[in-house]
Structures are given as C-alpha cells and as structure tokens.
Amino acid sequence: IDLVLLKVEPPFENVKDLEFNKNPKVGDFLVSMASPFGLEQSLLYGNISAIDTKGKDTAFPFYAFIQVQNLAYPGVSGAGVYDWNGRIIGINRSAHGFSAGTGIGFVIPWVLIEQFLELYKQKK
C-alpha cells in the first residue's frame, strides 16, 4: 500500500509515543510538516474532504484512502498527517490526478498502516 518499513537504531531522547486518531471525520482540520516543491519544513494545514475514497486512486483502487484538501503537493509524500490535537491520522500518499499542486490528495489512513505493520510482524 505504498509504504516502506525502515529500521532505525535507538537511542532517541525525548520521543513520546504517538497517539492515533483512528476515526477521523469529514471536515476535521489537519496539519502536516513536509517539503512541498522542495520548500523544506513547511507547515501545511487543511481538512478532510472525504473518508472512503475506494476506487478514486487508480494506482490502488481497492484501498479506501482519506481525501484531503491543501495537504497534497509534490514533495509531501510520506509526511505524517495529524489532527489539531496532535494525533496522527495517517501518511500523505499522493496528489490527486494529473494536476499536482491543486492541494487535493490522499492520505493512507492509520488503520491500513496498522494492517501493514501486522503483516510485517507475521513474516518475522
């Protein structure tokens, strides 16, 4: 589902556990820190436009991504997307269609990321 798992070595200081929002709603406000068009450390904010977009992403038509507005530009794929309370809802996947830069895009929801991680655990 367009994810890769990287192994990093500890120690990490001052890292707190992530909190997750597994039930985001249409209209929820979101934030992300990414590098749109190579502009490093840009704070982006937007909102959820749709929750169940199964069939809209032609590369992965069987997955229901979260459709977002104002968070999807070239250079933001892989960035975490958070609600206003700092809980992660997913990871930026792509801008929609052939008009990159419109800000309309898809986020891989946390529930799919959990499934991905579970498959990894089973293969170990």
**pLDDT tens digits, 69-99:** 988 888 888 899 999 998 999 999 877 765 5
pLDDT at 49: 94
Under 8 Å between Cβ of 58 and 96: no
**pLDDT tens digits, 20-71:** 898 999 999 999 988 888 888 899 999 999 998 888 877 788 888 999 998 8
Identify the band that residue 105 occupies on the pLDDT scale cut at 50, 70 and 90. confident
Report d(CA 43, CA 98) in Å as an integer.
24
Would the pTM count as exceeding 0.85?
no
Phi, psi of 111 (to 5 degrees): -65, -35
pLDDT at 1: 59
